[in-house]
Amino acid sequence: MNRLSVSWNKLSIRWKWMLSASATIFLAFTCFSVILIVAMSQWMIQEERNTLTEVLTDLKDFYENRNPLVTTNEINEGRELAEQIYERGQVIHFYNEDGFEIYQIQRSETNLSVPFIRVSDTDISRERLNGTSALVGRTPVNSNGFSGYIEIIHPLNAYTAQLNYMIFLSMILLIAALLFSSYAAYLLSGSFIKPITQLGRTMKKTQEEGFQRQLPEPAYQDEVGGLIEIFNDMMAELEKNFIKQKQFTEDASHEMRTPLQIIEGHLNLIQRWGKKDPDILEESLEISLQEINRIKKLVSDLLMLSRADRELQLEEVVPADCDKVIMETTNKMKAIYENREFVVETTKGQASIEAGHLEQILIIFIENAVKYSSQDKKVLVTGIKKSEKYEITIEDYGDGIPEENLPFIFDRFYRVEKSRSRDMGGNGLGLSIAKRLLEMYGADVKVDSKPGHTVVKLSILSAEEG
C-alpha cells in the first residue's frame, strides 16, 4: 500500500487527472451496467414466468371447463391444444391422480426431467437440470370425474443467451468507454493544466531573471485564472518590496558610511596630531561622539521600524488619554525647544492606542514641525474628540513640502532636502516609523502642505472611557 502511495505521488498532475477521471468513469459505467443487467434479467425472467403461467392456465382451463366427466377424447383434444401452444424446447407432461403419465409432448431430444410432485395450486420454480437453467411449472387439474396434473419444463436457453449477450456487450462498451475516457481525459487535462504549467515555467524564469515577468490573464476568470491573478499581484508586490529593500540597503549603507568615515577621519587625525594637541583631541572626540550618537539613533530607528513591521497583531490595547499624552508630550518639547512657541488645545477623550506609541508618534511629527520652520514660527497642536475618532492636528508655518514630494514622505530614508535634513540630524526614518505605528492601530494620517503652512491630521479610533 505504501509503495502504491509513493508511486501515485510521483505521478504528474496530468496523469493523476487522467487516471482519476478514467477510474471514475469506469466505476460509474460498471455500476450502471450491473444495475441495467440485473434489472433486465429480472424483467426477462418474469416474462418467461408469465409465458409459462399462460400455458399452464390454458391447459388447466381446457380440462376443467369440459364436460363433468373427462373422457379419452377430451384428453386427446387437450394434447392437440398443448401441441398448438407448445413452445420450442418445452417438455409437457400430463399425469393422472396416481402420477401415471398419460402423455408427453417433446419435439426436441433433451434429457430434461424432474420427479413427479403433487401440488395443490399452480407452482413455478427455477431449477438447474443437467447443467441447464429451467423453469418447472406444475398445476393440478380437477373436474367432477377426473383429477390429474400438468407439468411443464421450460428451458431458459433464450434467456441465458440474451443475458450473456448483454454481459458481453457491456464488457465491450466498458472497455471502449475506458479507452475513450482515458484518451479524452489525457487531452483535456493537458488543456486544463496548461496555465499551471505556464505558471511553473514563469516562476522558474522569475527565479532566474527577477520579478519582471507576468503571466497573461485568461479571458474567463476561473480558479486557475484567480491563481494567475494572485501570482501576478504577488510578483508585482515582490518586485516592489525588492526595489524597496534594495533602496533601503543602499540608503542604510550610505547613512552608516558617512558617520563612520567622519569618525575614521578624526581618529586618524588624533593618531597623527591629536595626542599632543588638546584642542584637536577635544574637537575630534566631540565630533566622533556626535557621529556615534547619530549611528545609535539610526540603529534604534531601524530596529523600531523592523519591530513595527513584525507586529501585525496587537494584544489587549490599553486606551490612551489623548489630552493627557498631548499635554505631556508638548511640555517635553517645550523643555527641549525653549525659544519656540507651542499652542495646544485639547478636549478629553480616549483612543485605541498605547500611550507610549502615541507619544512617540507625536514627538516625530512635532520635531519635524519644529525643525522645518523658522525660530519665530509657532507650532499648533490640537486634539478633538469626535463620535468614533479622536483627531490630532499638528500645524507649522515653515516652508512647506513641495506637492510632488508629498506621496513619498513616508518612505524609508526619503528626505525632501537631503543635505538640509542631514545637517539637522535626520535620517529619513521618523515618518516611516510613525506611519507604521498608526497602521498597526488602524489609524489614518493625512498631510496637506503649501508654502508657509503644513497640516498633519491623525485620526485614531476612539475608545470608551471607563
| pLDDT one-digit tens code per residue, 360-403 | 889 889 988 888 877 778 899 999 998 889 999 999 988 888 88
pLDDT value at residue 386: 86
Quick count: other Cβ atoms within 10 Å of Cβ 243? 11
CA 262 – CA 268 distance, rounded (Å): 10
3-class DSSP assignment, residue 181? helix
The conformation of residue 412, written as its DSSP 8-state character, comes to T
* Cell numbers at 61, concatenated: 382451463
pLDDT digit string, tens, across residues 122-168? 899 998 888 888 899 999 988 766 788 989 888 888 888 889 999 99
Q: Which of 440, 451, 364, 373 is nearest to 409 (CA)?
A: 364
* Cell numbers at 284, concatenated: 575630534
Task: State how far Cα 97 lies from the chain centre.
Answer: 80
CA 339 – CA 93 distance, rounded (Å): 134
CA 450 – CA 453 distance, rounded (Å): 6
Q: What is the CA radius of gyration of the chain?
A: 51
Judge contact between 342 and 326, C-beta under 8 A.
no
Q: Which residue has the cell 441447464?
A: 132
Share of the chain above pLDDT 70, in %: 73
For residue 417, the one-letter residue type is E
pLDDT value at residue 305: 59
CA 346 – CA 341 distance, rounded (Å): 16
Q: What is the 3-state secondary structure (H, E, C) of 94-146?
A: EEECCCCEEEEECCCCCCCCCCCCCCCCCEEEEEEECCEEEEEEEEEEECCCC
Helix (H) or strand (E) holding 367: helix 355-371
pLDDT digit string, tens, across residues 32-53? 889 999 999 999 999 989 988 8
CA 105 – CA 55 distance, rounded (Å): 13
pLDDT value at residue 216: 61
Superfamily grouping for domain 2-164: PAS domain (3.30.450.20)
CA 84 – CA 68 distance, rounded (Å): 24
Q: What backbone torsions phi and psi does residue 215 show, to the nearest 5 degrees?
A: -90, 140
pLDDT value at residue 237: 76
Q: Which of 446, 414, 417 is nearest to 430 (CA)?
A: 414
Which residue stretches of the chain have pLDDT < 50?
312-313, 418-423
* Cell numbers at 36, concatenated: 441495467
Q: Which residue has the cell 419444463?
A: 153
N- to C-terminal Cα separation, the chain: 64
Cβ-based burial of 453 (10 A; exposed 0-12, middle 13-18, buried ≥19): middle
Domain residue extents for the chain = 2-164, 223-309, 317-463
Question: Which CATH code is given to the segment(s) 317-463?
Answer: 3.30.565.10
For residue 395, the one-letter residue type is E
* Cell numbers at 403, concatenated: 506637492
- The CATH class of the 223-309 domain is mainly alpha
Judge contact between 136 and 153, C-beta under 8 A.
yes
